[in-house]
Structures are given as structure tokens and as C-alpha cells.
Amino acid sequence: MTEPDEVDVSKPNAARVYDYYLGGSHNFAVDREMGDEAIALWPELPQIMQANRAFLRRAVHFCVERGIRQFLDLGSGIPTVGNVHEVAQLAAPGTRVVYVDTDPVAVAYSKKLLADNPDADIVRADAREPDQVLDSDEVAALLDLDEPVAVMMVALLHFVDEESRPREMIARYRDAMAPGGYLAISHATAEGRPDMADEHADLYKQRTATPMTFRSRVEVGEFFEGFELVEPGLVFLPQWRPVSPSEVGDNPERFTALAGVGRKL
């Protein structure tokens, strides 16, 4: 893969490592090296990441079925298969999607992917700076914030530490949303596998610019202030509206991430 300008290929990047876990090709040797190191510590990581992507697809379908025709995907990462616009526009052509990411690789490849799609675009911005996102030309062009929008924070908030004030960040997006919109969150938690969480968090802290913060069910639940959680509430990834019971398995807690969708009151 040829790197876009401004890409530091000396350090792994969380978005590119995630792409590697999903079997994508938009990553570098340094990302694969870290991914392999993480998998050696925690062999189930690729399955966890795939379960996270499956949750995203189910959440998008859920929102589309309830009439949502515009999405804001924060920390969208690399454009691997099953992205928001692919799922939403297949279900409801004309659905508008704006992606947001800081990684130049994610932005460059998303721009290429979306070049012929008039209903989707990406903003290079930091999701932790809501005004930067909400005031962008791309959001102004594609999203009508006076109408309900689905805001996706999938595998994002565990890369937002407490110093970055995640609750204030979410509140700013919430206040910009019209009633009837939705917030989708998936978030890493140590509650499923506390024996694995510390080593994994240490690896991201040592190797990337985006260390991980594992949070409890109570802490993740607080992110939905001002939203009404839809059934089944805040649960482990495969438990959120599975297509079939076989997707859940006997030990859903092994996926070590919580997922939920809330409706703006």
C-alpha cells in the first residue's frame, strides 16, 4: 500500500490496526506487527473486531428501519467492507452519510471510495472537537441537523480519555441533534475478560498515540444521558439484536465490549 502524504509509518495507528484485524489491506507493516503482537496476547481479537463491525451493521439497519436517512459516523476509520454508507444506502437509496476521522490514511482512502457517491463524504477532523465537525462544510452540505440523524460512536470512546471530557463531547453532539435521532455506541470493557484488559491497554499506550480506556457498564451507560436506550439496552456486542440466537453463543462476555443504541428525547 502506498501511503498518502503526512502519514507517519514509524508508529502503528489504531484505525489501521483495526483494519488489519478485519482483514483489510489499508495498513502498513508497523500496524500488522502490533496487530500480531496484540493477537498473541489475546487470540480472540479478530473475532471481537468482527463482532463490533457486525453490531455497526445491525445498528445502521435498525436506524434506517425507523426512518433515519442521515448518519454522522465519528471515528469511522479505514473504509473496509460493511461501512455505514454501504449498509444504509443499500437499504434506503439516497441516505446521506458523513464520516469523520483524523487519520490521513482513512481520509484519503475514504475520499477515493466516495468520489462517485454524491450522498457521502468524509471530514478530516477530531471527533473530540464537536464544533469543528458540526461546522464543517461537509456536514453543512449533506446533513440537516433540524431533522433526526444517527450519530455513530462505534469503537470510538475507549480512545477518548477522561482528560478529553467525553461526556461534554457527547453532550455537544446530543444538543445539536433533533429529537428522534439516535446515538449508537460500542465500547471496550474489562468486565468480560479482566485478565486480558490491562495488558491490551498497556500495549496501545506504549505503541500508539491513542491509548485505550476500558470502562464499566455503569460508566458507558452514563454516555447515554439525554437518550432513551432501546431494547435490549446496554449489552455485550453479540447480544444487541442478533439476527439469530446462534450469533450470541454461550459466552457473549468474551467479546469484552458493550453496545447500545439510544433515542434522543
Three-state SS letters, the chain = CCCCCCCCCCCCCHHHHHHHHCCCCCCCHHHHHHHHHHHHHCCCHHHHHHHHHHHHHHHHHHHHHCCCCEEEEECCCCCCCCCHHHHHHHHCCCCEEEEEECCHHHHHHHHHHCCCCCCEEEEECCCCCHHHHHCCHHHHHHCCCCCCCEEEEECCHHHCCHHHCHHHHHHHHHHHCCCCCEEEEEEECCCCCHHHHHHHHHHHHHHCCCCCCCCCHHHHHHCCCCEEECCCCCEEHHHCCCCCHHHCCCCHHHHCEEEEEEEEC
Task: Tell me whether residue 77 is in a domain.
Answer: yes
- Report, as an integer, the average pLDDT of 8-36: 81
Task: Tell me whether residue 158 is in a domain.
Answer: yes
163 is written with which cell numbers? 482528560
* pLDDT confidence band for 80 (50 / 70 / 90): confident
Task: Tell me whether residue 29 is in a domain.
Answer: yes
Structural domain of 71:
14-264
User: pLDDT tens, 152-211?
Assistant: 999 999 999 999 999 999 999 999 999 999 999 999 998 866 666 566 566 656 565 567
Q: Count CA atoms closer than 13 A to 203's CA, side-chain side.
A: 20
Nearest one of 145, 144, 138 to 114, comparing CA atoms: 138
Q: What is the count of structural domains for the chain?
A: 1
pTM for the whole structure: 0.88
Task: Tell me whether residue 133 is in a domain.
Answer: yes
User: pLDDT tens, 127-169?
Assistant: 999 999 999 999 999 999 999 999 999 999 999 999 999 999 9
What's the CATH code of the domain at 95?
3.40.50.150
Task: Tell me whether residue 214 is in a domain.
Answer: yes
Check whether 4 has a pLDDT greater than 70.
no
- Report, as an integer, the average pLDDT of 210-221: 89
| Chain centre distance of CA 128 | 13
| Separation in Å, CA 245 to CA 49, 241, 248, 252 | 19, 9, 6, 11
Task: Tell me whether residue 3 is in a domain.
Answer: no
pLDDT of residue 1: 46
Report whether 122 contacts 107 (CB < 8 A): yes
* Amino acid letter, 174: R
* Pairing outcome for strands 235-236 and 227-229: unpaired
pLDDT of residue 208: 55
Dist CA 259 CA 238 (whole Å): 9
Task: Tell me whether residue 8 is in a domain.
Answer: no
| Separation in Å, CA 214 to CA 160, 201, 239 | 10, 8, 19
Task: Tell me whether residue 5 is in a domain.
Answer: no
Q: Count CA atoms closer than 13 A to 176's CA, side-chain side.
A: 22
